[in-house]
Amino acid sequence: MKVTRLSAPTLLAASAPVLMLALLTGSPVSGLTQRRPSSPVPETSRVPVVFSGGYETDPRDRGRPVVLIAAALGVPGEVFRTAFRHVRPAPAGQEPDPEQVRRNKDALLNALGRYGVTNERLDAVSNYYRYNGRRGERWRHRDAAAYANIRDGKVTGFTITDPGAGYCSAPTVTLPGREHLTLHATVAFGIDLEKNGSITTLRLVETENGRSR
C-alpha cells in the first residue's frame, strides 16, 4: 500500500475550508482553542459630596453651641443649660469685669462640679468654643469631606476623607448630578475636642420598596 505524505503547506491549504466553515458557523475545531470575549470591567468613579449647614444651634441657646460644650464636658445638654441659667453675661458690646467672670464661673462649677467637671476643664472647653457672633465669627470647627463610590451609575458606598468637627447637628448632604438622592450623615459628640461634632457615617436613605428617594 502506498502512503502519500503531504507537505505542511499542502495540509494548511487542505484545512483552510474547514477552518473557515468553523469560524462562520461557530463550530469547535479539534486542536484549536476558542477565546471567549472577556466581560467588560465595571466602571468605577468617585464623586465628591457636598456638605452644607450643620452649624445651627438650638433657639434656646441663643447662638451658643451648647451641644458641643456639654459633650466636651461630659454632661447632658440639659444639665449645662440649667447651670448656665445662673450665669449673668455682660451687656451686649461690653467686656465682663473680672469679678463678674469669677461669679459666673463659680455658678457653673457649683452646678457642674457634681458631674466631675473641674475648673481646668471648664476653662479649656470655654476657651476652645469661645467666639464673637456679633462679628460674624463661628466657634472653632472644620468642614467635613467625603466622596461617593459609583459603579455602573449606582452609588455603592461612601468614603469619608475628613470627618470634620464642630457640627451641632447633621449637615445637609448632596451629590452633584444626583440631587434626587437623599443622603443622611450621622454626627458623633464626645470629650475629644478635635473630634467633637464630627461625621461618622454617610448613607443613602431608602424608602419602603428599597429604592433610594
DSSP per residue, 20-49: HHHHHHT---TT--PPPPPPPPPPEEEEE-
Determine the pLDDT at residue 25: 47
Residue 121 C-alpha cell reads as 476643664
- The tens digit of pLDDT for each residue in 96-106 reads 678 888 898 99
Summary mean pLDDT of the chain: 82
Band of residue 23 on the pLDDT scale cut at 50, 70, 90: very low
**Does the reported pTM lie above 0.75?**
no
With residue 160 as reference, give the H or E element that holds it. strand 154-162
**Is the pLDDT at 22 greater than 50, yes or no?**
no
Quick check: 24 pLDDT over 60? no
Grid coordinates standing for 126?
470655654
Mean pLDDT along residues 173-185: 92
CA 194, chain centre distance (Å): 16
Dump pLDDT digits (tens) for 99-143. Answer: 888 898 999 999 999 999 999 999 999 999 999 888 889 999 999
